[in-house]
Amino acid sequence: MSQVFKFSIFRFDPDEGKKPRFDNFDVPFKAGMTILDALFHIQGHIDTSLAFRFSCRAGVCGSCAMHIDGKYKLACETQASIALNKRVTIRPIAHLPIIRDLVVDMKPFWDQYKRIIPYLMPGDVAPEGRERYQTTSERQKLDHVIDCILCASCHSSCPMTASDPEYIGPAALLKANRFVVDSRDQSTAQRLQMVGDEHGVWRCHTVFNCSLACPKDLDPAGSIANLKREATKNFLKKPSTR
Amino acid sequence: MTRHDVIVVGAGLAGLRAAIAVNQKNVKVAVLTKVHPIRSHSVSAQGGINAALGNNPRGGFDSAEKHAFDTVKGSDYLADQQSVMKFTSTAPEIIYEMEHWGCPFSRTPEGKIAQRPFGGAGFPRTCYAADKTGHVLLHTLYEQAVKYEQASERQNFQVFEEWMVTRLVVEDGVCHGVIAMNFNTGAVEAFLADAVIFATGGSGRIYAPSTNAIINSGLGMAIPYWAGVPLKDMEFIQFHPTTLLGSGILMTEGCRGEGGFLTNANGERFLSNYSDSAKAMEVAPRDIVARNMQREILEGRGVKNESINLDLRHLGAEKIMERLPGIRDIAMNFVGVDPIVTPIPVRPGQHYTMGGIDTNVDGASEIKGFFACGEAACVSVHGANRLGGNSLLETLVFGKFSGEAAADYVLSEGKPAVNPKAVESALEDEKQKFKTMEGGSGKENAFTLNQELGEMMVENAGIFRDEERLKSGWKTIKQLQRRFKETRVTYTGKRFNQDLMWHLEIEGNLDLAEAVVAGAFARKESRGSHFRLDHDTRDDEKFLQHTIARYDPQEGKPKLAYRPVELGLWEPKERKY
Ligand SMILES: Cc1cc2nc3c(=O)[nH]c(=O)nc-3n(C[C@H](O)[C@H](O)[C@H](O)COP(=O)(O)OP(=O)(O)OC[C@H]3O[C@@H](n4cnc5c(N)ncnc54)[C@H](O)[C@@H]3O)c2cc1C
Ligand code: SF4
Ligand code: FES
CATH number assigned to the domain comprising residue B288: 3.90.700.10
Question: Does residue B13 have a pLDDT over 80?
Answer: yes
Does one domain contain both B115 and B31?
Answer: yes
For a mutational test of ligand 1's pocket, the pick from B7, B17, B33, B70, i.e. the residue with the most ligand atoms closer than 8 A to its C-beta, is B33
The pLDDT, as a whole number, for residue A239 is: 54
* Whole-number pLDDT of residue B152: 83
Task: Kindly tell me if the per-residue pLDDT of A240 is higher than 70.
Answer: no
CATH code of domain A4-104: 3.10.20.30
**CATH topology assigned to domain A107-237:** Fumarate Reductase Iron-sulfur Protein; Chain B, domain 2 (1.10.1060)
Q: What is the pLDDT of residue A237?
A: 76
B506: CATH: 3.50.50.60
Per-residue pLDDT tens digits for B93-133 = 999 999 999 999 999 999 999 999 998 899 999 999 999 99
User: Which pLDDT score is estimated for B153?
Assistant: 85
Q: Which ligand is nearest to the CA of B334?
A: 3
Shared domain for B196 and B48, answered yes or no, is yes
Q: How many beta-carbon contacts under 8 Å exist across A and B?
A: 164
By C-alpha distance, the chain A residue nearest B95 is: A131
Task: Assign A241 a pLDDT band (cuts: 50, 70, 90).
Answer: very low
- Element housing B222 (H / E): helix B219-226
Is B563 an annotated catalytic residue? no
pLDDT average, residue stretch A23-34: 94
At residue A236 the predicted structure's pLDDT band, cuts being 50, 70 and 90, is confident
Instruction: With respect to residue B565, please indicate whether it lies within any of the assigned structural domains.
Output: no
Judge whether B558 lies within some domain.
no
Q: How far apart are the first and last CA of chain A?
A: 68
Instruction: Please tell me the total number of residues recorded for chain A in this structure.
Output: 242
The answer, yes or no, to whether residue B483 has pLDDT greater than 70, is yes
CA of B375 to the centre of ligand 1 (A): 6
Amino acid B529: pLDDT: 96
Q: What is the pLDDT of residues A104-158, one digit of tens each?
A: 999 999 999 999 999 999 989 999 999 999 999 999 999 999 999 999 999 999 9
The segment(s) of chain A belonging to CATH 3.10.20.30 are: 4-104
Backbone angles phi, psi at A123, to 5 degrees: 70, 5
Best CA proximity match to B50, nearest among B74, B67, B28, B75: B67
Query: Which amino acid, B500?
Result: L
Q: Does A141 touch chain B (CB under 8 A)?
A: no
Q: Is residue B557 part of a domain?
A: no
Confidence of residue B60 (pLDDT cuts 50, 70, 90): confident
- Rounded-to-integer distance, Cα B125 and Cα B390, Å: 10
Q: For residue B566, tell me if it sits in a domain.
A: no
Same domain as B334, residue B256: yes
Residue B141 in any domain: the answer is yes
Task: Name the segment(s) of chain A with CATH classification 1.10.1060.10.
Answer: 107-237
* Complex ipTM more than 0.95, yes or no: yes
Cα(A33)–Cα(A79) distance, rounded to whole angstroms?
Answer: 6
pLDDT at A2 over 80: no
CA A76 to chain centre: 15
In a shared domain, residues B62 and B201: yes
Q: Is residue B314 part of a domain?
A: yes
What does the alpha-carbon distance between residue A178 and residue A176 come to, in Å, rounded to a whole number?
5
Which pLDDT tens digit goes with each residue over B17-54? 999 999 999 999 999 999 999 999 999 999 999 999 99
Distance CA B65, CA A170 (A): 47
Query: What integer is the mean pLDDT of A156-173?
Result: 96
| Catalytic residue selected from B4, B41, B205, B240 | B240
Q: How far apart are CA B421 and CA B413, in angstroms?
A: 22
Chain A residues with beta carbon closer than 8 angstroms to that of B204: none
Domain boundary pick from B323, B348, B373: B348
Mean pLDDT estimate for chain B: 96
| Catalytic residue, candidates B4, B256, B386, B527 | B256
The predicted structure's pLDDT at residue A242: 44
Percent of chain B whose pLDDT exceeds 70: 100
Q: With pLDDT > 90 as the criterion, what percentage of chain B qualifies?
A: 95
Q: Is residue B572 part of a domain?
A: no
The more confidently predicted of residues B120 and B425 is B425
Q: Which is nearest to B52 in space by CA: B16, B101, B85? A: B85
User: What predicted TM-score, i.e. pTM, was given to this entire model?
Assistant: 0.97
B144 contact residues in A (CB cutoff 8 A)? 119
3-class secondary-structure state, position A180: helix
> Count of domains in chain B?
2
DSSP notation for B94-145: HHHHHHHTT----B-TTSSBPEE--TT-SS--EE-STT-HHHHHHHHHHHHH
Residue B463 belongs to what domain range?
A: 1-236+354-552
Q: Are residues B310 and B437 in the same domain?
A: no
**3-class DSSP assignment, residue B336:** coil
Does A100 lie at the interface with B, CB-CB under 8 angstroms? yes
**3-state SS assignment for residue B570:** coil
Q: Are residues B213 and B341 in the same domain?
A: no
Distance separating the N- and C-terminal Cα atoms of chain B? 55
Q: Which secondary structure element, helix H or strand E, spans residue B223, and what is its range? A: helix B219-226
**For the residues A85-94, what does the mean pLDDT come to?**
97
pLDDT over 70, % of chain A: 98
Residue B459: inside a domain, yes or no?
Answer: yes
Per-residue pLDDT averaged across B374-385, rounded?
Answer: 98
